[in-house]
Amino acid sequence: MKKEWLFPWIVLGVGIFLICPARSAGSWSQPNLTLHAPSAVLLDGTTGQILFEKNPEERFAPASLTKVMTLYLAFDALKRRDVKFDDQVLVSKRAWKMGGSQMFLEVGDRVKFIELIKGVATISANDGALAIAEFLTGSEEVFVHEMNEKARALGMEHTRFVNPHGLPREGQHTCAMDMAVLGLHYLHDHPEALEFHALRTYTYGGIKQKNWNPLLGLGVGVDGLKTGYLKTSGYHILFTAKKGDRRIIGVVMGADTADHRNNDALKLIGYGFKNFSNRALVKKGDVVARVDVPNGTPPQLALVAARSVVVTVPKAMEGSLPVREEIPSSVKAPIKQGEVVGKLVFEGEGFPSKEVDLLASQDVQVRSYVLYYALASAAVAGLLGLAFWRRRFSRRKRQ
């Protein structure tokens, strides 16, 4: 077998988005980060790997973090083209009566759908959230059912929604890990949503209000998502930040003050960017190896990676990413392009195991001997003809 690694920088570059959070933080002996909040989670936004966790499954009332799911369903509907940004939404009396943070909608107002999204994303408008729910499904109850269906589909095992805005309601609960999972999928499916979450202010009906996210504009890369507060559950934040080609997603829940919540989030952001990096182990389509194909045409076959794989690793481990090749010394023809011939296995302490199929880069046919027989027969016939001609010529010369 002849192997040919054409990419000696295999641990460099950009990989695909792997959106299933991987429990790997425990194998990295987490730092002793002193957080005031009782619960927190930090994920890498590309790989979904857990970089830090503290009581990740402790339950809290979600408060306004609930609205991230409301917006998720709103952008789902836009993507399906069930609704459009310019659709006019009629404000109901129920929406008008909502308390807390609000856009100050009036009964009978006709508001563009995009304005409701802006109001919910920036100023956490409770009236806007209920108006979205009623517009999309006709009733709050049906919308809440869809929220919980979506949560189950995303694997949010410790979450139950009771309303679309997060105001206190018995039976509504979540945890930091579930909220991190929600943020990860939300941004993966709808990256355009950040345009709204990053707005510093929002004005409706002549009333200008500031975005509730205190981390925006601090120079640490934060460009969304959502804060929340209830007296019974404390101060929450679901945030995302981007630096270069890296994105992180974090959650702080249950802080006793807004300052403690914000400081905890800033600690997590600094920790995530300074101590970890993303490394592409292999890219889709890379030629990883070549194998011999006895009696094949061609006689050697290039094997290519079926998919890209990127992992998040502590910077101290960047140069020690182990790989095991499971590649046969040779293969038999015929082989179809795209057929699985071998695989790469990446495994080691500090990141989840990954397997990548290696595919045949082209068709390989069984070598045909018909042509060789034809050529050999022609050669023999030619030699016999030449011998016959020379013999006849020699006889004529003697006569």
Q: What angle do CA 212, 218, 224 make, to 5 degrees?
A: 45
φ, ψ for residue 110 (rounded to 5)?
-110, 115
- 156's CB contacts (< 8 A; 6+ apart) are 174, 178, 181, 182
CA dist 322 and 327 (Å) reads: 16
φ, ψ for residue 2 (rounded to 5)?
-115, 125
pLDDT tens digits, 344-392:
888 766 566 788 999 999 999 987 654 445 455 666 666 666 666 666 6
pLDDT tens digits, 275-284:
999 888 888 9
Q: What is the pLDDT of residue 395?
A: 64
pLDDT tens digits, 14-68:
333 345 565 544 445 566 789 999 999 999 999 999 999 999 999 999 999 999 9
Question: How many CA atoms, within 13 angstroms, populate the side-chain half-sphere of residue 393?
Answer: 6
Mean pLDDT of the chain: 87
Q: What is the pLDDT of residue 367?
A: 79
Residue entry with tokens 């929340």: 228
- 169's CB contacts (< 8 A; 6+ apart) are 162, 163
CA dist 358 and 304 (Å) reads: 5
Radius of gyration of the chain, Cα coordinates, nearest whole angstrom: 31
pLDDT category of residue 315 using cuts at 50, 70 and 90: confident
Structure tokens belonging to residue 142 = 């049906």
pLDDT category of residue 234 using cuts at 50, 70 and 90: very high
Active site residues: 64, 67, 124
CA dist 88 and 103 (Å) reads: 16
CA dist 28 and 51 (Å) reads: 9
CA dist 294 and 19 (Å) reads: 41
Calculate mean pLDDT across residues 280-300: 90
CA dist 97 and 189 (Å) reads: 32
How are beta strands 39-44 and 246-255 bridged, if at all?
A: antiparallel
Q: What is the pLDDT of residue 370?
A: 41
Structure tokens belonging to residue 108 = 């009978």
The pTM of this model reads: 0.81
pLDDT above 70 covers a percentage of the chain that reads: 82
User: Which of 89-98, 135-144, 275-284 is predicted with the least confidence, judged by mean pLDDT?
Assistant: 275-284
CA dist 392 and 57 (Å) reads: 101
Q: Are 278 and 12 in contact (CB under 8 A)?
A: no
Q: What is the pLDDT of residue 9?
A: 31
Edge-to-edge strand ranges of the sheet holding 246-255: 50-54, 39-44, 246-255, 234-243, 222-230
φ, ψ for residue 10 (rounded to 5)?
-60, -20
Residue entry with tokens 């707005």: 199
Q: Are 342 and 358 in contact (CB under 8 A)?
A: yes
Q: What is the pLDDT of residue 18?
A: 42
Q: What angle do CA 42, 165, 18 make, to 5 degrees?
A: 30
